[in-house]
Structure 1
Amino acid sequence: MIVGIGSDLCDIRRIERSLERFGERFTQRVFTPGERARSDRRAARAPSYARRFAAKEACAKALGTGLSQGVFWRDMEVVNLPSGAPTLRLTGGAAARLAALVPPGHRARLHVSLTDDPPLAQAFVVIEALRDESC
C-alpha cells in the first residue's frame, strides 16, 4: 500500500547561485558526505545537487512533515541501489517518521525518480508499505 507521495521541482540556477554564494556552508548543511562526494565528482555539479535537493524536498513531503517535526536535510540521503536506481537512506527524524507511517507487520520501500532538463530538476518519491513476510 502507498503511505506517502511527494514531488518537487527545483531550479538548477538557484542551486548554482547557492553553490557560488555559500559554497561548502550550503553543501555541508544540506547534503551528506556521500552526496557531496558524488556531486563534486561531476563536471556539472549544480544539476547533480539540484536533483538531490529535489529528492529531499519530495521525501519530506511524502513523509508528511516537510522539513519540520525533527526531519532535517541530512536525515535523507540519495543513494543508489546495486542496479544504479536511486533511492533514499533515511536516518534520524526522517527514519523515525517513516517508521511511524508504516503499519505493523509491514516494511517500507522508497521509490525515487530523478530527472533534470535545465534549468529544472525534478524528483518524485513514493513510500510503499509492503507486508513483511518474516512476521
Structure 2
Amino acid sequence: MQIPNAARRIPEHLHSAGVDLVDLCRWERAVERCGDSLAQRYFTAEERRTAREWATDDRSAADVLGHLFGVKESVVKMAGGLPPGARLADISVGIPDDGWGRGPWTVRLDGPLAHRFEAERMEVIGDCVPLVDRMALAWAAVRTSDAAS
C-alpha cells in the first residue's frame, strides 16, 4: 500500500494526530532477542492474545505486535509524550472483530494518559497498514466524542 492510500483511512474532525513508521523486520528481531519480557512490558494480556489469534502463515504474532506497537508510538507522539508514571502498556489497541484492515482500531487509555483525554471527552483511534519492504505506517488520532457519532 502506498502512503497516499493509507492516509485516506484517517478520519476527519481530528483534534490531534501522530504517525509512526515501523520496520517490521527490526521489530521481529527485537522480539526474538528479548522474548516474552518485551511483549509483557509493552502489551496487555489481551493484546498478546490478539496477536496469537491474528497470526497466520503470512503474518507472525510478532508482526501483529509490531503493528500494535506502531499505534502505541503514534499515541505517544500525538499526546506529546508519556506523562510521568505512564507506560506503553497503558495504551491498549484493539483490532476490530470483523477483520484486519476494516477501519480504525479502538485505543483504550489507562493511567495518567487516560486522565488527559477523559476530561476533554475525547476518543482515541488508530490503525497500522503495511507498506513495502516490511515497513508499516501507523497512526493514532484523537477526536471529540461528539465527532465520533
* Structures share fold, TM-score greater than 0.5: yes
1:90: how far off? 0.7
Classify 1:16/1:80 alpha carbon distance in 2 versus 1 (closer, same or farther; 3 Å).
closer
Aligned residues: 126
Inter-partner Cα distance in structure 1 for 2:125 and 2:98: 13
The equivalent of 1:79 in structure 2 is: 94
Inter-partner Cα distance in structure 1 for 2:43 and 2:21: 17
- More deviation, 23-32/83-92: 83-92
Amino acid in the other structure paired with 1:127: V
Q: 1:112 aligns with which of 122, 126, 130?
A: 126
The equivalent of 1:96 in structure 2 is: 115
Unmatched runs of 5 consecutive residues or more in structure 1:
none
Higher strand share: 1
Amino acid in the other structure paired with 2:73: E
Amino acid in the other structure paired with 1:120: M
SS in 2 for 1:2: coil
Detail structure 1 runs of 4+ shifted over 6 Å in the superposition.
none
RMSD value, Cα: 2.1
Calculate the TM-score normalised by the size of structure 1. Answer: 0.81
Q: 2:75 aligns with which of 59, 65, 82?
A: 59
SS in 1 for 2:85: coil
1:6 aligns with 2:18: yes
- More deviation, 75-84/48-57: 75-84
Inter-partner Cα distance in structure 2 for 1:125 and 1:35: 17
Amino acid in the other structure paired with 2:90: D
Amino acid in the other structure paired with 1:125: A
Amino acid in the other structure paired with 1:11: D
Q: Percent identity, please.
A: 29
